[in-house]
Amino acid sequence: MLKDILDDVNLIYIFLSNFEDNQNKLNLANKNLIEKLRKKYKFNQRKFVSYRYNNLEYTYELLNDNQCLFKYDLLNLKNENNLILMYNEVKLPIYMFPSIKNISYKDEYILEENKINNRITLNIKHDTVYISFNYSTNCDLDNNIKIIEKLIKEII
């Protein structure tokens, strides 16, 4: 599934999706699945405000004043059974973000996270469930892929 497309990728989002009845339209929101997951897993909640400008995202955590700036370059996108986005993520100093008067998008949200291991996290954000995988060339890729596939089978 993932092995052949991981050259410059260091962050992978796997959105657990379903298709709407009688349509070929992808539906990422699934409230029934979210309630099932909240009963099965323990999630930590964190509140954020994010500002986007092109491929830069400035994120401010509301509870502890943590600030981060990331540059995301989308390297690949796959839409098989689930939507898979592969990024090259680079952390930058926050002063590199332009004025918030020039933002493309602002989002205030609660991120619910359940850490599966140090690289894989199950997330809920805006009624959407996704798995984030922080990839590195020195990680045990085969084992992490097995964990992700097992997690997807358990959830769906």
pLDDT by 10s per residue, the chain, length 156: 555 566 678 999 998 875 454 445 556 667 788 988 999 999 999 999 999 999 999 999 999 999 999 999 999 888 877 888 999 999 999 999 988 788 989 999 999 999 999 999 999 999 889 999 998 888 888 999 999 999 998 887
What six digits make up the tokens of 28? Answer: 């990422």
Residue 69 tokens, joined:
């700036």
CB 111 within 8 A of CB 48: yes
What amino acid is encoded at 17 in this protein?
Answer: S
Q: What are phi and psi of 139, to 5 degrees?
A: -90, 160
State the Cα torsion 121-47-64-131 to the nearest 10°: 10
Give the sign of the dihedral formed by CA 27, CA 29, CA 31, CA 34.
positive
Q: Is 53 helix (H, G, I), strand (E, B) or coil?
A: strand
CATH for 3-155 is 2.40.320
Cβ pair 50, 57 in contact under 8 A: yes
